[in-house]
Structure 1
Amino acid sequence: MKLYELAQNYAELLEIAEEIESDALVDTLEALQDAIEDKAENIAKLIKNLEADAKIIKEEEQRLAERRRAIEAKVDKLKTYLQEQLEIAGLQKVKRPTITVAIQANPPSVEVVDETAIPSDFLIPQPAKVDKKSILERLKKGESVPGVALKQTKGVRIR
């Protein structure tokens, strides 16, 4: 039986148990409770395994991201080195049978020198962001903050 079926049967039997007291009913409830606990234990173990897998994958993602950044930095350094050496040599283009290297102008871009001197026409307004931490602190102190409510949820903890 699936956990949700066991839980539903247990709840139904519990309602009946309040009206009728029988040793067979009590035994059935205990058996159902044991089955529910076994299922809960197995699901909790599966959750632990999946959390461990997720942690390993996250660490691997971080390792690969660091490796990618190192390779990208090396590419940038090599491009800068190649450009500098070609400019020193006075060469704009090197054409070989398998590859061509050329120095060319990049598209124009804007460099902000003094942000305070830029006219407001060129500033993009940013939406306001709610500071939930400060609101939570105030609500915990008993203060009232309009437009919000303190919410308490429940969750499963597996130790």
Structure 2
Amino acid sequence: MATLYELTEQYTELLNAIETDDPKLLEDTIASTGINEDLNKKFEGYGQVINQAKADMNEVSEEIKRLQTKKRTYDNNIKRLKQALIDSLAAVGKDRIKTPLFSFSIKNTRAVDVTSVEDLPVDYLIPQPSKPDKKAIKEAIESGQDVPGATIKFNESLVIR
């Protein structure tokens, strides 16, 4: 079976033959290519590959979700176990225990707790870069407004049903 590129080339030859006034050339081109059947089979094959790839991608996405849930469970269990050790050290009045395999100690750290961003002085805020509101820009341009620095870009996409 011909490749998609070969079929596309044959189809282009057929279109060129249609544009000529020579009915014999058109008949010969149609007879020699058998293009419609091959092209339909090729597209069918591509469609099946695309559908399988979509199904595989969905399976991978579900597996990612499952593994993320499992990771969260491990993380939560580690936090609980660490907190249990901290509580035990505090209960016995120690801040350090050494075993043959591990050394456990409580480390005191300090973290900033921001209770209200609005009350902070400007010196303590990090400016964020502006982001374009693409939805509003699209609506404005489609309603006939001129938006300097923006245009509508047309993209092609293949629909498979």
Q: TM-score range by the shorter chain?
A: 0.7 to 0.9
What TM-score results when the alignment is normalised by the length of structure 1? 0.87
Contact 1:17/1:25, CA 8 A, preserved across alignment = no
Counterparts of 1:70-149 in structure 2, within 5 Å, are: 70-106=73-109, 108-149=110-151
Aligned to 2:6: 5
Find the partner of 2:39 among 18, 36, 40. Answer: 36
Is the CA contact 2:14–2:30 (under 8 Å) kept in the aligned structure 1? no
User: After superposition, what is the alpha-carbon deviation per residue over 1:88-122, rounded to whole angstroms, capped at 9, x for unaligned?
Assistant: 2102222222222221223x433323433433233
Residue range with higher mean Cα deviation, 116-125 or 72-81: 116-125
Q: Unaligned 5+ residue runs, structure 1?
A: none
Q: SS of the residue aligned with 2:23?
A: coil
Q: What is the Cα deviation at residue 53 of structure 1?
A: 0.3
Identity of aligned residues (%): 31
Which range moves more in the overlay, 10-19 or 108-117? 108-117
Deviation at 1:15, TM superposition (A): 0.7
Number of the residue aligned with 1:157: 159
Gaps of 5+ in 2: none
Structure 1 residues 25, 12: CA separation in 2 closer, same or farther (over 3 Å shift)? closer
